[in-house]
Structure 1
Amino acid sequence: MFKKIAAVTTLILASSAAVAAQPGTVYAGADVGKTKIDGFNRDTSVGAFVGYNFHQNFAIEAGYRRLADYEFRMGGSSVDVSADQLALSVIGSMPVGESFSVYGRLGANRLEAKSRFMGASIKDSTTKALYGVGVSYAFTPAVSARLEVQKPSSDSTNLSAGVAFQF
């Protein structure tokens, strides 16, 4: 039974190698999405990333994302709050069919929150584990779109859609 499962798994992986990333390739891209931070409304996020495929199913990726920008009115003054993310992840992907793949990420991210109120500025940062899952669709061997859910911290979730270009 084990030999049959291994044979079927090998055939599936071999037949869907067309969308698997070629080892040694670099990719870069951008995404836009929504971030939900506990206690705040959802806000638009924007990000950029660059990665290196060191194996057909594994990559290392670095990225920056502006998770949120909030402005509150308190009395006659405004309070500005922003949240940024710097991330480094290992990504494991599995081709599903000819153009689709699913992937997961595991890494670390540096989160920084800044608040400005009446001329005073407060900054706080922390390093947390990062994980996420996503799907990718290859339009061509060099251009793909992706949809991903990330958990930068226990109290925040980001859903984003992006495009990546392989070099």
Structure 2
Amino acid sequence: MIKHIAAAAALLAASSAFAAQPGTLYVGADVGKTKIDDVSGRATSAGAFIGYNFHQNLAVEAGYRRMGDYDVYAAGAYGEVDLDAASLSLVGTLPLSGGFSLLGRVGYNRLEADAKVRGYGSGKAHDSGAVLGVGVGYAFTPNVSTRLELQRPGSDATNLSVGISYQF
């Protein structure tokens, strides 16, 4: 019985060894791929984020991501669409053993599309709504970690990214 309690305590200690410390700030960057429904192909995305751990398992995070640049052809016209996203999210983490963790995201997102159509001019459009995400993280050290995350920044967009962050 004592061996089981000791093993459980060791697992618990290992799972929280690289947990975020409350009151700490972190910054990071990521790259990935964005898929827009009804648009062929995937575009390369890149983003940056800054967060504040106000609890061992909860952080508030602001981010900006270039969702991608798309070439579109519709109604006989060729154009380019650049899609950007700015977000503010609550990020929850669940530490696992061996430096791994699960993460979940819920927040507010503003998407902006900048379109240029040859022969017709250009224009901008934006949409706001919820951003949702799930992922897995790995802490190399107490300060440096990586994460793989699947986000749904809009009702018709999906982004899969891998990022690295540094906690101060």
| Equivalent residue, structure 1, for 2:94 | 94
Q: Which stretch of the first structure deviates more once superposed, 115-124 or 86-95?
A: 115-124
TM-aligned CA deviation for residue 140 of structure 1: 0.7
The TM-score normalised by the length of structure 1 is 0.88
- Say yes or no: does 1:27 pair with 2:26: yes
- Post-superposition Cα deviations, 1:114-135, rounded to whole Å, max 9, x if no partner, equal 1012361111101110100011
Task: Report matched runs for 1:117-156 at 5 Å.
Answer: 117=117, 118=119, 120-156=121-157
Count of matched residue positions in the alignment of Structure 1 and Structure 2: 160
> Could you tell me which amino acid in structure 1 is paired with residue 23 of structure 2?
G
TM-aligned CA deviation for residue 79 of structure 1: 1.1
What runs of 5+ residues in structure 1 fail to find an aligned partner? Answer: 1-8
TM-aligned CA deviation for residue 75 of structure 1: 10
TM-aligned CA deviation for residue 78 of structure 1: 4.3
What runs of 5+ residues in structure 2 fail to find an aligned partner? Answer: 1-7
Partner Cα distance (2:9, 2:156) in 1: 39
Change (3 A) 1:12 1:86: same
Q: Contact conserved, 1:13 with 1:95, CA < 8 A, in 2?
A: no
Structure 1 residue ranges (4+ consecutive) displaced by more than 2 angstroms after TM superposition: 9-15, 71-78
Change (3 A) 1:80 1:104: same
Task: Report matched runs for 1:79-118 at 5 Å.
Answer: 79-117=79-117, 118=119
- Post-superposition Cα deviations, 1:6-52, rounded to whole Å, max 9, x if no partner, equal xxx99865552212100011000100000000111211100000000
Partner Cα distance (1:95, 1:44) in 2: 29
Question: CA RMSD of the aligned region, Å?
Answer: 2.2
Partner Cα distance (1:44, 1:15) in 2: 36
> Could you tell me which amino acid in structure 2 is paired with residue 123 of structure 1?
K
Specify the SS of the correspondent of 1:98. helix
TM-aligned CA deviation for residue 71 of structure 1: 2.4
Partner Cα distance (2:127, 2:32) in 1: 22
Q: Contact conserved, 2:70 with 2:81, CA < 8 A, in 1?
A: yes
